[in-house]
Structure 1
Amino acid sequence: MLIGSVIIIIAAFVVVSSISGSDADSKSVDQASQLAGEMVSEEVDELNSPGSDELIAAVGTHGGEPEAGFNPISGWGKSSEPLVQSTLFKLDSQASLINDLATNYTVSSDGLKWTVTIRDDVKFHDGVPLTAEDVAFTFNTAAEGSGSLDLSMLESASAIDNYTVEFYLNDPQSTFINKLVALGIVPEHAYSESYGQNPIGSGPYMFVQWDKGQQVIFEANPDYYGQEPYFKKITMLFMASDAAFAAARAGQVDLAEIPASYAYQEVDGMKIVSLDSIDARGISFPLQANTGKKNENGYAIGNNVTSDAAIRKALNIGIDRQVLINGALNGQGKEEFTGVDKLPWGNKEAIFEDGDLEGAKEILTEAGWEDTDGDGILEKNGEKAEFTLLYPSSAMERQALAVSVSEEARKLGINIKVEGKSWNEIDTLVHSTPVVFGYGSLDPTDIYLRYYSKSYDPSNYNNVIMYSNPAVDGYLRAAITSFDQDAANENWQLAAWDGTTGFSEKGDATWLWMATINYVYIMDEDLDIGTPRIQPHGANIFGNILEWKRTEN
């Protein structure tokens, strides 16, 4: 009865969400709440009673339903808690490395061999012991596949004995430790092309059922080697954020990720929790001029407006980020200037004063941009200061940011035309047209792939702006190959700005970073989620699920 009831909830809310849109007014939400309340059985109400050890969560906005299923090799759990699978290491709430399957690791003097020892008391959910063979199989399979985790530096992984695995790299990357955090371990004996549809792991929860487009159900693993979870059953509903809020108002979910526009709503018996994140929103600027050149896929390269550094610098210092946050994000975010401001490898010297309209106009004037025909748009050498800004059409918060940036840019005489498109369409335009992207990782390899000149790859978004700066390349290589964390962080910082050059606004102004977004949730008042992990791109609300419990309130 529970499963059927949950499906009815989803159907009701998806219908309302599809007709109300992301800016649904209170009337739409009230109607949805009433509809859900009429359609859901009393069994779900009992499930949400104080002390219940079962949890229903609506989490379809960020992260959401994985297209390839619950397979780490295909990307499941890359930046979040995979629940079903264990990882070698984890990061705690302070982003410090802690053991999961691993008990220790060492690195050879040349940085090319990593040796990891693992626990000897771990079993997969089917009772088969987990060994180093499974770890090696997982990493080798992921390296050979086309998943979202970059393992191009991994030559091979080998099991030395049942509980020791050696990783051989083709490049001495100190950030390889982050790959050991990101990839859940799968069982070699039970892995196939359909693994993601019915996964077996060794994590705190076992996969029970997946109703595609609707829900997935997990149950606690009775043989888990770690702390016993309080919640014995978790049902995740995949629904849009407006629908999730309506479900929460109807009292049919314990937890829901909701739009920033609802951050100040009051709902009886529930509380709003807003989590800071390192998930930054930024605009990519194609750096080459449009000369008719095309990339390997036949897509146009270059933009005659954004290739002018004056345009990029003027937008960076002229736009008031707090205005964007207050308007587009309903105050649920923080200013962002380099894409990694909050992280240890962020360079505070690269941060600048924004909202400086006069300074921005001066930059444009000195570069030869003038409004010669009085239409409010600057020109230079017959080229209008205008371009299209793309955002993924399913991301309403990115649309709101794009529109706000366009409004701010008009004050500078720059005309930005905003368009929403599918990712497939964006792929064909990304090298010639600015795009609102989202990035946020605890792995600094993210910076390397974004700015290192040789990381460009037409099959992905690595160095999508085709940036090339020899000084920055040098800092990035020094950072990624350094096993001294302080030295690595110093080089990451210098890549942003060394006093002369860098990828930040003070240097080449390669991107326009706007804000890190807050993840906003509504949840039962008696739900205690402990100390959440740092929220990366895509959110990691279940990152500390073993701390979660209900209180007596």
Structure 2
Amino acid sequence: MPAGESVSPVPQVSDGSVSGYSDKLVSEGSDELVVAVGTHGGEPEAGFDPIAGWGNSREPLVQSTLFKRDSEANLINDLATNYTVSSDGLKWTVTIRNGVKFHDGMPLTARDVAFTFNTAADASGSIDLSMLEKATATDDYTIEFELNDPQSTFINKLVALGIVPVHAYNAETYGSNPIGSGPYKFVQWDKGQQVIFEANPDYYGQEPYFKKLTMLFMGSDSAFAAAKAGQVDLAEIPASYANQEVAGMKIVSLDSIDARGISFPMNPNTGEKTENGYAIGNNVTSDPAIRKALNIGIDRQALIEGALNGQGKEEFTGVDKLPWGNKEAIFEDGDIEEAKKILTEGGWIDTDGDGIVEKNGLKAEFTLLYPANAQDRQALAVSVSEEAKKLGINIKVEGKSWDEIYSLCYSTPNVWGYGSLDPTDIYLRYYSKSYDPSTHNNVIMYNNSAVDSYLRKAITSPDQETANKNWQQAAWDGTTGFSAKGDAPWMWMATINYVYIMDEDLDIGTPKIQPHGADIFGSILEWKRA
């Protein structure tokens, strides 16, 4: 299941209160905090284990990472004090702090770092470490990472993965009783209800203002009810509540790089199946006229105003706001006449007057899937369906479980969410050889040799400027690319805003750039009561 998309039990709401919790959860002490933020990964199935996905690309609270990013996305040290890369890009050497302790008092050394990365690579978890040959502790404070592919984006793996202790790690039990070296210590986990953390008195970094942090697992509607009832200090809420007023609380809307896009299976349906027996291909979306018409005909701002209650920004490539985004790939959308022209020139004409264009007896209609528990994706899917009718394309929307989506996505379009400061996401989504049913990379089986070439140059480039230029050209080089100006294998729609309701006196500092799944705790060390 993609990060940030797990399904948690939702407490029942009645008369503004939330059952299953005490009537007054917010402590009298101002240095204690109760939060309900479902998209911080939701309740993790495997517990609070970074190797199993906890905190990947977000603040893990319990564990430290080698590096972090500041509010401007600049790389800063956490455990690490320095790093170097060999001229061939295959050996990365990282030095770490002396004197760091795990929560049980044991020292953190390079051996723990090497163990964490080797174990995560063997586990083939949510962080792609396929390029890591091995990590070795050369002394107590130095780690060498040997790569099998010179990937410049490896630095992002050093940001994403929390460090676990070799002396206290068991894959079966660690997630339920984690030990780390981060700013907060794990206290208890009441499954289906809440998890409690306390400030780590031995933390090497800035001392957190809040000494106790209680995180409730509840859906966003229930979280809003809890906030109105005075049961929480901070809650993530649906975009539809962004204009609500609650006495003693304020609503904060944070921009993100979390983009919503629709994947279009690129191959026709010839009866071929995946290794797991799932159907491949779609006879409608395999036609570029359909993909291009939808991309240019759909009005993204209308989707944002309607489906997202104005809480979002237009998105055209999935990475518009990032340094590797290509502004030349952005275009004017909402052009219904141009979209109809593309369809007509592509042979799609409504010959029977039913409002749906057809080609060689095939109707321009298909099913669009969305995760059944995702309100914003459901709203976007319905809005896209309504907009598509203006073009003569009939889209039927269906909510499914992730297990169902993963069996259907090779033949059926789906609404996905992506947003990362690691451009490896682009590589895994569009590089032809990255297709892998076990990881759900390139599920549409996109294949463009020119794009492949740019992607390889980007991911192996030793300098960021050259890498960014190649990421951009992979989207659109003036002739071809993975953007809508090129092959249009996806239709990106919007980046969503993350909306929170919080106590008026709560100061959350300068929030970091919000990725897919949000990182509201990314600035937790700056939080205080005003």
Asked if Structure 1 and Structure 2 have the same fold, meaning a TM-score greater than 0.5 normalized by the shorter chain, the answer is yes
> Which residue of 1 is the match for residue 46 of structure 2?
68
Deviations 1:416-445 (A, max 9, x none): 000011111111111000000000000000
The reply on whether 1:226 has 2:209 as its aligned counterpart is: no
Code of the aligned partner of 2:123 = G
> Which residue of 1 is the match for residue 191 of structure 2?
212
> Which residue of 1 is the match for residue 514 of structure 2?
535
Residue of 323, 333, 349 corresponding to 2:302: 323
Code of the aligned partner of 1:305 = V
Code of the aligned partner of 2:12 = V
> Which residue of 1 is the match for residue 427 of structure 2?
448
Task: State the shift of 1:37 in Å.
Answer: 10
Deviations 1:450-484 (A, max 9, x none): 00000000112211110111100000000000121
C-alpha contact (below 8 Å) 1:48/1:254 kept by paired residues:
no
State the SS of the aligned residue for 1:90: strand
Residue of 2, 15, 20 corresponding to 1:32: 15
What is the TM-score when the length of structure 2 is the normalising length? 0.97
State the SS of the aligned residue for 1:55: strand
> Which residue of 1 is the match for residue 35 of structure 2?
57
> Which residue of 2 is the match for residue 183 of structure 1?
161
Could you say if the C-alpha distance between residues 129 and 307 of structure 1 is closer, same or farther in structure 2, counting changes exceeding 3 Å?
Answer: same
Task: State the shift of 1:510 in Å.
Answer: 0.9
CA RMSD of aligned residues (A): 1.4
Could you say if the C-alpha distance between residues 407 and 41 of structure 1 is closer, same or farther in structure 2, counting changes exceeding 3 Å?
Answer: closer
> Which residue of 2 is the match for residue 140 of structure 1?
118
Task: State the shift of 1:121 in Å.
Answer: 1.4
Code of the aligned partner of 1:113 = K
C-alpha contact (below 8 Å) 2:455/2:470 kept by paired residues:
yes
The reply on whether 1:14 has 2:11 as its aligned counterpart is: yes
State the SS of the aligned residue for 2:269: coil
The reply on whether 1:119 has 2:116 as its aligned counterpart is: no
The reply on whether 1:194 has 2:191 as its aligned counterpart is: no
C-alpha contact (below 8 Å) 1:61/1:241 kept by paired residues:
no
CA distance in 1 between partners of 2:311 and 2:23 (Å): 35
Task: State the shift of 1:62 in Å.
Answer: 4.9
Deviations 1:354-390 (A, max 9, x none): 0000000000000110001110000001100000000
CA distance in 1 between partners of 2:332 and 2:316 (Å): 9
CA distance in 1 between partners of 2:253 and 2:117 (Å): 35
Could you say if the C-alpha distance between residues 126 and 38 of structure 1 is closer, same or farther in structure 2, counting changes exceeding 3 Å?
Answer: closer
> Which residue of 2 is the match for residue 130 of structure 1?
108
CA distance in 1 between partners of 2:223 and 2:383 (Å): 26
CA distance in 2 between partners of 1:525 and 1:233 (Å): 19
Deviations 1:281-320 (A, max 9, x none): 0000000000111111111100000000000000000000
> Which residue of 2 is the match for residue 390 of structure 1?
369
> Which residue of 1 is the match for residue 258 of structure 2?
279
Code of the aligned partner of 1:71 = D
CA distance in 2 between partners of 1:379 and 1:292 (Å): 21
The reply on whether 1:359 has 2:359 as its aligned counterpart is: no
Task: State the shift of 1:353 in Å.
Answer: 0.4
Could you say if the C-alpha distance between residues 40 and 298 of structure 1 is closer, same or farther in structure 2, counting changes exceeding 3 Å?
Answer: closer
Could you say if the C-alpha distance between residues 189 and 416 of structure 1 is closer, same or farther in structure 2, counting changes exceeding 3 Å?
Answer: same
Could you say if the C-alpha distance between residues 440 and 273 of structure 1 is closer, same or farther in structure 2, counting changes exceeding 3 Å?
Answer: same
Residue of 509, 513, 519 corresponding to 2:488: 509
More helix per residue: 1 or 2? Answer: 1
The reply on whether 1:478 has 2:436 as its aligned counterpart is: no
Task: State the shift of 1:146 in Å.
Answer: 2.9
> Which residue of 2 is the match for residue 80 of structure 1?
58
> Which residue of 2 is the match for residue 174 of structure 1?
152
Could you say if the C-alpha distance between residues 37 and 114 of structure 1 is closer, same or farther in structure 2, counting changes exceeding 3 Å?
Answer: closer
Task: State the shift of 1:36 in Å.
Answer: 4.7
CA distance in 2 between partners of 1:420 and 1:37 (Å): 27
State the SS of the aligned residue for 1:57: strand
Code of the aligned partner of 1:402 = A
State the SS of the aligned residue for 1:450: helix
Code of the aligned partner of 1:544 = S
CA distance in 2 between partners of 1:282 and 1:520 (Å): 20
> Which residue of 1 is the match for residue 479 of structure 2?
500
> Which residue of 2 is the match for residue 6 of structure 1?
none
> Which sections of structure 1, spanning at least 5 residues, go unmatched?
1-9, 17-30
C-alpha contact (below 8 Å) 1:48/1:252 kept by paired residues:
no
C-alpha contact (below 8 Å) 2:41/2:54 kept by paired residues:
no
> Which residue of 2 is the match for residue 4 of structure 1?
none
C-alpha contact (below 8 Å) 2:23/2:231 kept by paired residues:
no
The reply on whether 1:310 has 2:289 as its aligned counterpart is: yes
Code of the aligned partner of 2:263 = S
Task: State the shift of 1:40 in Å.
Answer: 4.0
CA distance in 1 between partners of 2:163 and 2:235 (Å): 28
Residue of 245, 249, 256 corresponding to 1:270: 249
Identity of aligned residues (%): 81
C-alpha contact (below 8 Å) 2:510/2:523 kept by paired residues:
yes
CA distance in 1 between partners of 2:18 and 2:223 (Å): 11
C-alpha contact (below 8 Å) 1:32/1:243 kept by paired residues:
no
The reply on whether 1:429 has 2:408 as its aligned counterpart is: yes
Task: State the shift of 1:397 in Å.
Answer: 1.0
State the SS of the aligned residue for 1:542: helix
C-alpha contact (below 8 Å) 1:230/1:548 kept by paired residues:
yes
Deviations 1:204-240 (A, max 9, x none): 0000000011000000000000000000000000001
> Which residue of 1 is the match for residue 3 of structure 2?
none
C-alpha contact (below 8 Å) 2:11/2:19 kept by paired residues:
no
CA distance in 2 between partners of 1:346 and 1:297 (Å): 34
Deviations 1:123-161 (A, max 9, x none): 000000000000000000000003100000000000000
CA distance in 2 between partners of 1:38 and 1:298 (Å): 42
Code of the aligned partner of 2:272 = K
> Which residue of 1 is the match for residue 129 of structure 2?
151
Code of the aligned partner of 2:11 = V
CA distance in 1 between partners of 2:325 and 2:40 (Å): 25
Residue of 148, 165, 177 corresponding to 2:143: 165
Code of the aligned partner of 2:212 = K
Deviations 1:56-101 (A, max 9, x none): 0001245211111000000111121000000000010010000000
Task: State the shift of 1:32 in Å.
Answer: 3.4
State the SS of the aligned residue for 2:521: coil
CA distance in 2 between partners of 1:259 and 1:226 (Å): 34
> Which residue of 2 is the match for residue 410 of structure 1?
389
> Which sections of structure 2, spanning at least 5 residues, go unmatched?
1-7
Could you say if the C-alpha distance between residues 36 and 183 of structure 1 is closer, same or farther in structure 2, counting changes exceeding 3 Å?
Answer: closer
CA distance in 2 between partners of 1:102 and 1:545 (Å): 20
What is the TM-score when the length of structure 1 is the normalising length? 0.93
Count of residues paired in the alignment:
522
Code of the aligned partner of 2:481 = G
The reply on whether 1:489 has 2:468 as its aligned counterpart is: yes
C-alpha contact (below 8 Å) 1:69/1:196 kept by paired residues:
yes
CA distance in 1 between partners of 2:21 and 2:433 (Å): 56
Task: State the shift of 1:271 in Å.
Answer: 0.2
C-alpha contact (below 8 Å) 1:86/1:202 kept by paired residues:
yes
Task: State the shift of 1:48 in Å.
Answer: 5.1
CA distance in 2 between partners of 1:535 and 1:58 (Å): 17
Residue of 232, 257, 277 corresponding to 2:236: 257
CA distance in 1 between partners of 2:132 and 2:138 (Å): 17
